[in-house]
Amino acid sequence: MIRLHHVPFTRSFRILWLLQEMGIESEVARYSITDGSLRSEAFLKISPAGRVPALEIDGQVLFESGAITEYLCETRPEHGFGRPPGHPERVAWLEWIHYAETMAHLIANLNLQWVFLRDPATRSPVLLKIETKRLALTLAPLERALAAQDHILPSGFSAADTMLGYNLLAVPHFVRLDPYPAIRAYLDRIAARPAYRAARAIDGPQRFYAQDFYELTDA
């Protein structure tokens, strides 16, 4: 049995999507960030930090989306979503896999400020501006790469796309993508993938963000 512990529209979508790309069926155990289920004793035994994703597979439990992604690609190489040692794109594949977390921690900080603080008066305008600017700066390397090729790596779609592609679903809520035509075209290509559409159907409608765009103000 394969079981994915998942919260819709969070980093666990990376693994939901990759499983769909691989054609691997899994049971999806759903949680909520706000109802305390991630802090339950039972879940903390699965994921010690109380975070998703966690994946039960091959008689063990893995957590952290990057680690799960690498494990799936290394144990199921026939799908071609990894780049094994010795492959000319191995270093780039690893770099982009982990670059996804450079972006994701900025998204998480903005989520905390915009989505999870109950009292808007407690938001920090300075922090919001800094983190939004830092997030925008992370888009420049992606724009350059995607201006030259259809996917993150020159050879084609890989698990680097499932790691970074998730981020790019959240980024437009904080950074306008008008200056990034290559990223916008990439998102259109991603959205046309059958496995992506299947994963979004399992995930359900986006309810994480209450606003299409969170506008910075000088207040």
Q: Would you say residue 121 lies in a domain?
A: yes
- Can you tell me the distance from the alpha carbon of 104 to that of 45, in angstroms, rounded to the nearest whole number? 24
In tens, the pLDDT along 196-209 reads 999 999 999 888 89
Identify whether residues 97 and 146 lie together within a single domain: yes
Q: Would you say residue 154 lies in a domain?
A: yes
Q: Residue 19: its pLDDT value, please?
A: 98
- Can you tell me the distance from the alpha carbon of 196 to that of 191, in angstroms, rounded to the nearest whole number? 6
Average pLDDT, the chain: 96
Q: Would you say residue 61 lies in a domain?
A: yes
Identify whether residues 69 and 125 lie together within a single domain: no
| Domains of the chain: total | 2
Query: What is the per-residue burial (b if ≥16 Cβ within 10 Å, else e) of 63-91?
Result: bbbbebbbbbbeebeeeebbbeeeeebee
Q: Would you say residue 111 lies in a domain?
A: yes
Instruction: Please name the residues in contact with 99: beta carbons below 8 A apart, sequence gap of 6 or more.
Output: 138, 141, 164
- Can you tell me the distance from the alpha carbon of 93 to that of 79, in angstroms, rounded to the nearest whole number? 15
Q: Residue 184: its pLDDT value, please?
A: 98
- Can you tell me the distance from the alpha carbon of 53 to that of 97, in angstroms, rounded to the nearest whole number? 15
In tens, the pLDDT along 45-69 reads 999 999 999 999 999 999 999 999 9
Residue 180's domain comprises: 90-193
Report the Cα–Cα distance between both ends of the chain, in Å, rounded: 52
pTM of the model: 0.95
Long-range contacts, 65-71 (Cβ 8 Å, 24+): 65/11, 65/12, 65/14, 65/15, 65/100, 65/163, 66/97, 66/98, 66/100, 66/101, 66/163, 68/15, 69/14, 69/15, 69/18, 69/97, 69/159, 69/162, 69/163, 70/97, 70/159
Identify whether residues 185 and 97 lie together within a single domain: yes
CATH number of 117's domain: 1.20.1050.10
In tens, the pLDDT along 16-49 reads 999 999 999 999 999 999 899 999 999 999 999 9
